[in-house]
Structure 1
């Protein structure tokens, strides 16, 4: 709740400013659409607000232009509205097909045909004004911090994967009864998080490219984004580990419980501060310790047991890749059953090294 107050305050001030400019600078008698544009543009995930503003304006312009063409061709009337809406949505599809663009194109076409072309032209002016205010707030005054976007998404993903492995341990400890009560629905949140992580990576990249505050300092963001991309592999490895362990005979499942439980605790500790060097170092050591807890395979061991052991190894290697351990060093440490491995410092990106554009707080927009 508290973390949402700052974005709400920004939207409130920005919308009020849009209204004031439309009323007292441009002298609109009904300056409604300018603050609406600002609110819609800013009412999205941090890092995507500038893009949202551009998409909104593109939809409005497309809708008004199509409406003018439809009125010139057919004159006012129901067929004109139908044609204008149809063509406006098609035009929005051509320029990107985002839902906000399509919706604004259709709405603008209806307004332009239904209330007159002048109303449509005023809406374009309002959209440009509202989007301009949103861009100033989101890109100059309160730009999103790209690494903060990534780290929040990483934390949520790691926490859910930790819970997924904890559920696996509880299912094993519960025996056949635990197996019956456990379902794949329990893992849905963990893998839904991976989609959100992909969106966060895209938003972080957009923020780094388009906000003047971060121009020329994209390397740390790109490096952390590559680490975050490895969580997709970690998610797949956790799923494989869960499937292979639960497929074992009851007597053999319990042999893997210590390793799976330790991996769950490792991911949970890493989720608490994924950008902290010391936390990453401890997570790497704990993951290697979990690999040592997996039972050794005897000659002629069943394929199912070998698959479960491989699942443990894959989770460990993916954890090490996320915290920045080179692949060859990670594999060597697993083979040697050692916890001695060195984790490099995670990427950093500080506000203080950027020029102070526009003044004000540097809390992410």
Structure 2
């Protein structure tokens, strides 16, 4: 393999990262320049370096957490400077004052929450304030306040995080991993008894790891709905999408059940089961990056219903598939009662509720293709406290 062939994947990945990062880089560059200019013009500081530093640190975070980053940065700066002022009054500017200021600053940061950024800024600013003097330290506090104000304007007013995009990006990552796990499972089953299903465990582990990120995305989306003025009064669609995202926990467990069921099968049953598992993998893959499109959701639900009609109740493995079909339908927006009937082939009318939408979407990968019929929505997909603790669907004829 030549050097060019070895470098091609790395260069391609770097190009993707640069393409995705151009817009955040442009935002951070503009915000840093505004912070410097504003702090210099208002305060008269010749080099208000802490203003753009605060802005960059605040905006260099995941969307939905940038405003919190700005506030935490300023809290850390204030803690460090105030405690350093007290330490220098007590012990002067020597090593003992540095040690005391750092220790008390870190302890104070732990008391108010222990976020890493607060601890780091408290400790750093305590050291700088002891060495350079508290007057310069309080000047840094003023600069940091200007930087945080600019970061808040950029992150909460001008370019707020899109709550639904945050959720759907995390949902798509999980669906991609679950699809890969089912695809590996189908491939191993079709290959015969000599092929192992161990390959499916990697994507499944990745999907479970992504569930933690999905939980964080749900928190960030909720915070964005509260803090960004553009989303005020639109919490209902965000709450609906959060409820839908919670269904992925159950869907992941169902995928694991299907994979474990496949491991216990004999050779003949594996080959018959492989086609159904492959179909399930393709259904999940079709949703990746398309969760804001009602037509794609509807088509996926119709494929699930068709697969349910083809199922044979004589097969011992079919209940595991039925459970996964039910979870997919509910995630797509089908009511749990209708989903139960569909997987038991007693209901042929498959209707997916419109995906939640916000009135003024920020351009995002998952929110820029919304059609008029996707506006609004209902709570047909809200299924909390229903279906009696997710019992397994009854087999046809039962």
TM-score, normalization by structure 2: 0.82
Q: Is the 8 A contact 1:146 1:207 kept in 2?
A: yes
* Superposed CA RMSD: 2.0
Secondary structure at the aligned position of 1:25 is classed as helix
Secondary structure at the aligned position of 2:344 is classed as helix
- Aligned residue number for residue 91 of structure 2: 74
CA displacement at 1:310 relative to structure 2: 3.0
Label 1:325 to 1:8 Cα distance change in 2 as closer, same or farther (>3 A): same
Secondary structure at the aligned position of 1:179 is classed as coil
- Aligned residue number for residue 345 of structure 2: 336
Counterpart among 211, 215, 231 of residue 198 in structure 1:
215
CA displacement at 1:143 relative to structure 2: 1.2
- Aligned residue number for residue 79 of structure 2: 62
- Aligned residue number for residue 95 of structure 1: 112
Any gaps of 5 or more consecutive residues in structure 2?
1-17, 365-398
Counterpart among 130, 141, 144 of residue 124 in structure 1:
141
Label 1:101 to 1:310 Cα distance change in 2 as closer, same or farther (>3 A): farther
- Aligned residue number for residue 323 of structure 2: 314
- Aligned residue number for residue 358 of structure 1: none
Q: Is the 8 A contact 1:158 1:268 kept in 2?
A: yes
* Number of aligned positions between the proteins: 347
CA displacement at 1:133 relative to structure 2: 0.3
Counterpart among 101, 106, 123 of residue 123 in structure 2:
106
Q: Is the 8 A contact 1:285 1:339 kept in 2?
A: no
Instruction: Give the Cα–Cα distance (whole angstroms) in 2 for the partners of residues 284 and 27 of structure 1.
Output: 62
Secondary structure at the aligned position of 1:351 is classed as coil
- Aligned residue number for residue 356 of structure 1: none
Q: Is the 8 A contact 2:55 2:151 kept in 1?
A: yes
Which protein, 1 or 2, shows the higher relative CO under an 8 Å CA cutoff with sep ≥ 6?
1
Moved more, 35-44 or 285-294: 285-294
Label 1:363 to 1:282 Cα distance change in 2 as closer, same or farther (>3 A): closer
- Aligned residue number for residue 233 of structure 2: 216
- Aligned residue number for residue 301 of structure 1: none
- Aligned residue number for residue 36 of structure 1: 53
Label 1:341 to 1:113 Cα distance change in 2 as closer, same or farther (>3 A): same
- Aligned residue number for residue 43 of structure 2: 26
TM-score, normalization by structure 1: 0.89
